[in-house]
Amino acid sequence: MAESLRVGVAGLGTVGASVVRVLSEKADAIAARAGRPVMVTAVSARDKGRDRGLKLDGVAWHMDPSQLARSNDVDLVVELIGGANGAARACVETAIERGRPVVTANKALLAKHGVAIAKAAEKAGVAVGFEAAVAGGVPVVKTLREALAGNDVSRVFGILNGTCNYILTRMERDRIGFAECLAEAQRLGYAEADPTFDVGGFDAAHKLALLTTLAFGVETDADGIYVEGITSITPFDLQMAEELGYRVKLLGVTTRGEGGIEQRVHPSMLPKDSAIARVDGVTNAVEIDGDVVGALVLAGPGAGGDATASAVIADIVDIARGVRRPVFGIPAEQLAAPKRAPMQTHQGGYYIRLSVIDRPGAAAAIATRMAEQSISLRSIVQRGREPDFDRPSSEPVAVVLITYATNEAALRRALDAIEADGHIDGAPQVIRIEKR
Amino acid sequence: MAESLRVGVAGLGTVGASVVRVLSEKADAIAARAGRPVMVTAVSARDKGRDRGLKLDGVAWHMDPSQLARSNDVDLVVELIGGANGAARACVETAIERGRPVVTANKALLAKHGVAIAKAAEKAGVAVGFEAAVAGGVPVVKTLREALAGNDVSRVFGILNGTCNYILTRMERDRIGFAECLAEAQRLGYAEADPTFDVGGFDAAHKLALLTTLAFGVETDADGIYVEGITSITPFDLQMAEELGYRVKLLGVTTRGEGGIEQRVHPSMLPKDSAIARVDGVTNAVEIDGDVVGALVLAGPGAGGDATASAVIADIVDIARGVRRPVFGIPAEQLAAPKRAPMQTHQGGYYIRLSVIDRPGAAAAIATRMAEQSISLRSIVQRGREPDFDRPSSEPVAVVLITYATNEAALRRALDAIEADGHIDGAPQVIRIEKR
């Protein structure tokens, strides 16, 4: 058997601890798959005293992750520090400079600096694995980069953030408001103390940026992603979706069309019998539409120490086997500049919830504004209030419209006109419908 | 860029024609992913005159696939002939003898001779790719062999035959009998003129044998698979399943437990809200339960020329990239002998439909026979016939029992005793319940 592969793990949070533990507990099975022993020879973390339940006898401890990357004790560096800059970036860049392959779960780093890192790695002839950076344990990176090599991909979309999917599932099932569900998710450890990164859609956007590069062979363009979070979704929206045949999910969607690449993260309505619509709780799920294979769906645990460690170890074993590929499947020098399709040109159906001031002519005025923009309505639902059944009231009523496919610019013009007419109270709620 | 990889395609049916077409149409994109041009330089098929819509100018034509495998025009051989022996086997063995890597979609060949082929290939230092042999375009081989390198897998199960799933979906949806659905599937091209291989479960069994080897690191043991087809399933069974919260699917299931490896292909009831239960039509879907990652689900087109070609091309590109792994993930010499867990020890719930002769004491006798074998019943459903509402009749009535988990041997003893008692007419229908 070949020489051992000596692994340095920078960052000993839940993922790092799981990687160290699994590599040790399953050393024999992993050696059989890797063709050589894989052993952790160095780690880096700030708090040396903390008990992580790991046996680290004989393992070198570095306070500075870049020092670990530089050390002659390691052949491969696993970066699990996180963050787009700072220690994580320095550690990865140092490893590559020293000619050492890198495995990372750091979506923020790669969404921002992935192309530069890939160029440096390819120049140095080292691999960079990042399966763990997208959808946790679900092998979507490997599938896009390798299994679909014969396909032109037209769309990748899915549930990329387990926290949001947990909250939406719970809101829908138990008709509880967003704030209460978020607090519960925080208690259960599914959401961070500062939840903005998750519920604002930013975590999903980082992952989507990487999927776009893998799917379409273009440079990563995280700044080109249209991002909306889930904070404005109400139990009423979820109930209406259900009645109209949809479910609401926070989706990341990337498509390539004639106008360019459209990347967006926002709450979406999906036909409720579609595969992605049915995914509940913290599970992640991704659909890939390829021209040769058709539609593939992958689903599984998108977060958590062990699921993420599973992806990290797969990358380590690939590298131990001597697999060398460009980081994003094609050489980074060949990645094209992405042409952004602006959100204004987005085509699709819409769910619109208006808080309408209940007086004669309001409905007609709204319908007229839609017609002026050539927007056809598939459904209109207005719920009469029981006590005021036979007369309008000064309280606004909820009116829900489902449009046929139109474009974002026309829809925004119609909504601006409706707002200007003074028939509605507050901003319209708009949820895009994702086609099957 | 490195030298071209010269590919010989043996077998020009729908899959072979699609491979040749896609490699030509997408030559540039595939070269970028493969790191070198990939070109078809030789083909083999019996009927040279047939118009397959392919440009084969300058491509060598071999009547004998082994001659193609032996020819100096090819660096890699794609075997799409089919069959466990004969021309396909000779072609693959010849290619390996000549030190040429092989990509094949041939599940019958590998289920029977896969271990010997893997040993020969590993001795010769050549790769054998077979993604296309299991679940068509769904990358389940790559996922088990590579993406789950850090996992001990406890179970792999799923829908491995699109023909059966199409028939069951249609029977359920439109309450049509098996024979009529089969005839329709044959008309639509979803089933062969001789459908036994599909509807008898044998095609799924070949695929399952390969999944077992990948998941558990044991030698392929197709003869150790318990196989039942779908021919005895009735619309009434599907309707009862629905009422009781299940759907019926032809599943391949392989599990590893203390008693050994249990491999089985048979109609199964799955909780209707589980991911695999929801998969309709010709789609394939596989769930893999790994100890580190949790449950992964992969779904997509399991058959058809293009979907299968997508998998073939992925294997070609891996080999073009220089990826070299043992065929089944670990060296074939290290594959253990599989210890078979006999079907008699199978543990699980059961759906049992009895045609009961409607006279006093019949129900009590049946319940007693179950109790004697310590089998607990979760549900009992007897449908009274409307016209005979208040008196027993000489016509048998359908009684459906759902058991809690028991074992196959106890269940078979109970059913034998019930048959011996003479209260039932005809053989019991037994459908195993697969747990979530």
Range in A101-115, B34-48, B183-197 with the lowest mean pLDDT? B183-197
Give the A:B interface size as CB pairs under 8 Å: 179
Does B289 reach chain A within 8 Å, measured CB to CB? no
Quote the pLDDT of residue B178: 97
Same-domain check for residues B156 and B288: yes
The predicted model gives B281-296 an average pLDDT of 97
Same-domain check for residues B151 and B296: yes
Is B114 a member of any domain? yes
Query: Among candidates A70, A123, A80, which has minimal Cα distance to A316?
Result: A80
Quote the pLDDT of residue B352: 98
- Show the domain range for A368: 344-433
Does B322 reach chain A within 8 Å, measured CB to CB? yes
Q: Tell me which amino acid residue A19 is.
A: V
Same-domain check for residues A205 and A246: yes
Compute the mean pLDDT over every residue in chain A, rounded to the nearest whole number: 95
Total domains present in chain A: 3
- Domain final residue pick, B111, B133, B155: B133
Same-domain check for residues B168 and B290: yes
Measure CB to CB from residue B139 to each of A33, A143, A304 and give the nearest one.
A143
Is B139 a member of any domain? no
Distance from CA of A190 to the nearest CA of B (A): 17
Higher pLDDT, B52 or A306: A306
Residue B392 pLDDT exceeds 80 = no
Catalytic residue among A207, A272, A339, A435: A207
Is A335 a member of any domain? no
> Are B300 and A299 inside 8 Å of each other by CB?
no
Sign of the torsion angle spanned by Cα atoms B170, B175, B178, B181:
negative
Same-domain check for residues A99 and A222: no
Give the residue on B whose Cα is nearest the Cα of A284. Answer: B296
Q: Which CATH number fits the domain that encloses residue B155?
A: 3.30.360.10
Same-domain check for residues B166 and B119: no
Residue B360 pLDDT exceeds 90 = no
Same-domain check for residues B9 and B89: yes
CA A278, CA A270: separation in Å to the nearest integer? 9
Higher pLDDT, A375 or A394: A375
What pLDDT digit, counting tens, does each position of A388-399 carry? 555 656 788 999
Provide the percentage of residues in chain B whose pLDDT is more than 70: 97
Window 192-221 of B, Cβ < 8 Å to A: 217
Question: pLDDT tier at B107 (50, 70, 90 boundaries)?
Answer: very high
Quote the pLDDT of residue A113: 98
Quote the pLDDT of residue B436: 86
User: Burial, B145: exposed, middle or buried (Cβ in 10 Å; 0-12, 13-18, 19+)?
Assistant: buried
Quote the pLDDT of residue B365: 93
The predicted model gives B42-55 an average pLDDT of 89
DSSP 8-state secondary structure symbol assigned to residue B77: E
Question: pLDDT tier at A281 (50, 70, 90 boundaries)?
Answer: very high
Q: How far is CA B402 from CA A58, B227, B358, B421, in A?
A: 56, 22, 20, 20
What pLDDT digit, counting tens, does each position of A234-273 carry? 999 999 999 999 999 999 999 999 999 999 999 999 999 9
Distance from CA of A18 to the nearest CA of B (A): 9
Contact between residue A194 and residue A202 where contact means Cβ atoms under 8 Å apart: no
Quote the pLDDT of residue A210: 98
- Domain final residue pick, A284, A301, A318: A301
Is A155 a member of any domain? yes
Same-domain check for residues A121 and A184: no
On chain B, the residues whose CB falls within 8 A of the CB of A148 are 310, 314
Same-domain check for residues A284 and A163: yes
- Domain final residue pick, A242, A275, A301: A301
> Are B294 and A309 inside 8 Å of each other by CB?
no
Range in A34-43, A251-260, A388-397, B100-109 with the lowest mean pLDDT? A388-397
Range in A296-310, B5-19, B383-397 with the lowest mean pLDDT? B383-397
Quote the pLDDT of residue A88: 98
Q: Which CATH number fits the domain that encloses residue A95?
A: 3.40.50.720
Backbone dihedral region for residue A288 (phi beyond 0: left; psi -120 to 50: alpha; all else: beta):
beta
Same-domain check for residues A159 and A291: yes
The predicted model gives A334-341 an average pLDDT of 97
Same-domain check for residues A95 and A171: no
User: Burial, A154: exposed, middle or buried (Cβ in 10 Å; 0-12, 13-18, 19+)?
Assistant: middle
Is A390 a member of any domain? yes
Q: Which of B30, B279, B292 to probe the A interface (max A CBs under 10 A)?
A: B292
The predicted model gives A368-374 an average pLDDT of 96
B80-93 b/e (C-beta count within 10 Å ≥ 16 → b):
bbbebeebbbbbbb
Q: Give the number of residues written for chain B.
A: 436
Same-domain check for residues A151 and A280: yes
Pure H helices in A105-192 = 107-124, 140-142, 162-174, 178-187
Quote the pLDDT of residue B19: 98
Is B215 a member of any domain? yes
Catalytic residue among B142, B207, B249, B435: B207
Q: Give bridge partners of residue B265 from the DSSP assignment.
A: B227, B252
At B189, is the secondary structure helix, strand, or coil? coil
> Are A307 and B292 inside 8 Å of each other by CB?
yes
Question: pLDDT tier at A345 (50, 70, 90 boundaries)?
Answer: very high
Quote the pLDDT of residue B49: 81
Chain-centroid distance of CA B212 in Å reads 11
What pLDDT digit, counting tens, does each position of A404-432 carry? 999 999 999 999 999 999 999 999 999 99
Phi and psi angles of residue A77, each rounded to the nearest 5 degrees, phi first: -115, 125
Residue B202 pLDDT exceeds 60 = yes
Q: Which CATH number fits the domain that encloses residue B425?
A: 3.30.70.260
> Are A300 and B295 inside 8 Å of each other by CB?
yes
Quote the pLDDT of residue B387: 55
Is A331 a member of any domain? no
